[in-house]
Amino acid sequence: MTDIQFHTLPGRRRIAFRHAKGAGPALVFLPGYMSDMTGSKAAAMFEWARAQGRSCLLLDYSGCGSSSGDFAEGTLSAWRDEVLDLVAAKCPGPITLVGSSMGGWLMLLVGLALGDRLAAMVGIAAAPDFSDWGYDEEQKARLERGETVHEDNPYGPDSTPTYAKFWHDAQANRRLDSEIAISCPVRLLHGQNDRDVPWELSLRLAQQLRSDDIQVTLVKSGDHRLSRDEDIALLLDTVARLPIIASRS
pTM for the structure as a whole: 0.95
Nearest residue to 167 via CA among 191, 151, 188, 190: 151
CB neighbourhood size of 219 (10 A): 19
pLDDT at residue 27, as a whole number: 98
Decide if 224 is catalytic.
Answer: yes
Mean pLDDT across 143-156: 89
Stated as kind and residue range, the H or E segment containing 27 is strand 23-30
Catalytic residue of the set 224, 231, 247, 249: 224
Percent of the chain with pLDDT over 90: 91
Catalytic residue of the set 35, 101, 202, 211: 101
What is the tens place of the pLDDT at every residue in 23-65? 989 999 999 999 999 999 999 999 999 999 999 999 999 999 9
pLDDT at residue 158, as a whole number: 81
Nearest residue to 101 via CA among 155, 52, 163, 138: 155
- Would you say residue 248 has pLDDT above 50? no
**Residue 247 binned pLDDT confidence (cut-offs 50, 70, 90):** very low
**Residue 76 binned pLDDT confidence (cut-offs 50, 70, 90):** very high
Domain boundaries, the chain: 5-240
- Would you say residue 249 has pLDDT above 90? no
Decide if 132 is catalytic.
Answer: no
The three-point CA angle 24-30-36 to 5° equals 125
Give the neighbor-by-neighbor strand order of the sheet with 186-191.
5-8, 14-20, 54-59, 23-30, 95-100, 118-124, 186-191, 214-219
Fold of 5-240: Rossmann fold (3.40.50)
Q: Tell me phi and psi for residue 85, to 5 degrees.
A: -65, -45
Mean pLDDT across 98-125: 98
What is the tens place of the pLDDT at every residue in 188-225? 999 999 999 999 999 999 999 999 999 999 999 999 99
What is the tens place of the pLDDT at every residue in 160-191? 999 999 999 999 999 999 999 999 999 999 99
Decide if 7 is catalytic.
Answer: no
